[in-house]
Amino acid sequence: MNVKGKSKDNAKARKDVGILCDHKEIGIPSNSTSQTIPKALYTLTKEQRKVICEWLQNLRFLDGYASSLGKCVDMNALKITCMKSHDCHVFMQRIIPIAFREMLPSFIWNPLTELSILFQTICSAMLDIDKLMELEKKVAVILCNLEKIFPPSFFDSMEHLIVHLPYEARIGGPVQYRWMYPFERFLYDLKKTLKSKAHVEGSICKAYIA
């Protein structure tokens, strides 16, 4: 979406591309002082961003499936903000393959869709061991395909953790019994009972004991 101040795709990243990667079309010389960077194929134009934001504004889900993503759309800045963690999961698993199908070239859309399917699979209510075994072998290929597209600055420890998720699901069982949403909802209920915001921890303990 190329949101200013939020993207890792900047002049420094493009200099790394020029040194480390074979992407001459988006890389810039390391001695360049210009802050202007060539447009990459994975970056949406202003018109495309407007189409995505308008589509999200009118998107509706079943009750309890996700919150209203239309409230997270900023039409002035053409960006998506204030999404909760569960909304981000819904966006990764369900929306990316549909929203960007006509916006991105197939060699960019395909690995993004494969990544979405990976998250769908490991977050299913019932896990198929054979599919998880297959994903354990395939996840490294997906990340390698992403490395062919995005600059090195995009990849940090969080992207590396994806390699371990299929194995973790196979060993630990369904993800919904281990993720953080029940605890976040419980903390939300506790925080509503606060009496003193100056001593939050003490107030929460009293509420829990009561």
Confidence of residue 117 (pLDDT cuts 50, 70, 90): very high
What was the pLDDT predicted at 6? 81
Q: 31 lies in a domain?
A: yes
Are 210 and 160 in the same domain?
no
Are 49 and 152 in the same domain?
yes
Are 195 and 133 in the same domain?
no
A 10 A CB-CB count for 162 gives 17
Are 126 and 207 in the same domain?
no
Are 51 and 67 in the same domain?
yes
Name which of 188, 177, 166, 173 is nearest 121 in CA terms: 166
Under a CB-based contact definition with an 8 Å cutoff, are residues 89 and 123 in contact? yes
Q: 3 lies in a domain?
A: no
Are 102 and 196 in the same domain?
no
Instruction: Tell me which of 80-94, 104-118, 151-165, 172-186 is least confident.
Output: 172-186
Residue 204 pLDDT exceeds 60: no
Residue-averaged pLDDT of the chain: 87
Q: 71 lies in a domain?
A: yes
Q: 5 lies in a domain?
A: no
Are 92 and 57 in the same domain?
yes
Are 132 and 208 in the same domain?
no
Q: 120 lies in a domain?
A: yes
What was the pLDDT predicted at 142? 95
Which helix H or strand E contains 50, and what residues bound it?
A: helix 46-57
The first and second tokens of residue 69, run together, are 């993503």
Indicate the pTM of the whole model. Answer: 0.81
Are 20 and 122 in the same domain?
yes
Q: Structural domain tally of the chain?
A: 2
Domain around 34: 11-177
Are 37 and 133 in the same domain?
yes
Are 173 and 188 in the same domain?
no
Under a CB-based contact definition with an 8 Å cutoff, are residues 28 and 14 in contact? yes
Residues of the chain with pLDDT > 90, as a percent, come to 46
15-71: per-residue pLDDT in tens? 888 788 877 788 888 888 877 888 899 999 999 999 999 999 999 988 888 888 889
* Distance (Å, whole) CA 78 – CA 207: 42
Residue 152 pLDDT exceeds 90: no
